[in-house]
């Protein structure tokens, strides 16, 4: 099987936290919301239904595991999950913790304002907390 190639923009905007099985779990550098993404390590896939049935099930399992952990460690009011891919075609699933009054609440996080990068120290601490909860 060909080596998995991560999209350049996803690589630039995120930091690898861990591998959950099928997917890389990556943390967004944008710190406006607790925001992670799962990227299935499969080349040439842009829609979830293009994955094999087993991979679809793994992606669901990993998405729900991460969403549950993210809700637990952040105390979020709601988790938002989205697979859009209008800009970056490589399949990636956003998982975002939302709070009443957060930027653009109750609207979506996508396409809103500009990224506010958080420090490497903050990202490392967040990764530590999140991965312990998985």
Place of tokens 């990202």: 123
Among 18, 108, 118, 129, binds a copy of itself (CB under 8 A): 108
User: Which residue among 15, 21, 41, 105 contacts a copy of itself (CB under 8 A)?
Assistant: 105
Q: Are 15 and 6 in contact (CB under 8 A)?
A: no
The only residue of 22, 25, 79, 130 in contact with a copy of itself, by rule CB under 8 A: 79
| Cα distances (Å, whole numbers) of residue 111 to 23, 84, 86, 96 | 24, 11, 11, 14
* Single residue of 60, 113, 115, 119 touching a copy of itself by CB under 8 A: 60
Residue 48 near a copy of itself by CB under 8 A: yes
4 is an interface residue for a copy of itself by CB under 8 A: no
- The phi-psi region of residue 65 (left if phi > 0; otherwise alpha if psi is between -120 and 50; otherwise beta) is alpha
Using CB under 8 A, list all residues that contact a copy of itself: 46-49, 56-57, 59-61, 63-65, 67-68, 71, 77-87, 89, 98, 104-108, 110-111
């Amino acid at each position: 099987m060909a080596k998995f190639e991560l999209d350049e923009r996803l690589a630039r905007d995120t930091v690898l936290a861990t591998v959950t099985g099928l997917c890389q779990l990556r943390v967004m550098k944008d710190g406006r919301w607790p925001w992670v993404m799962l990227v299935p390590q499969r080349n040439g896939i842009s829609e979830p239904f293009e994955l094999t049935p087993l991979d679809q099930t793994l992606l669901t399992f990993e998405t729900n595991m991460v969403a549950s952990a993210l809700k637990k460690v952040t105390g979020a009011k709601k988790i938002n999950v989205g697979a859009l891919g209008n800009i970056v075609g490589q399949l990636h699933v956003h998982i975002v913790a939302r709070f009443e009054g957060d930027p653009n609440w109750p609207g979506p996080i996508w396409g809103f304002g500009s990224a506010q990068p958080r420090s490497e120290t903050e990202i490392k601490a967040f990764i530590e907390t999140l991965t312990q909860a998985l």
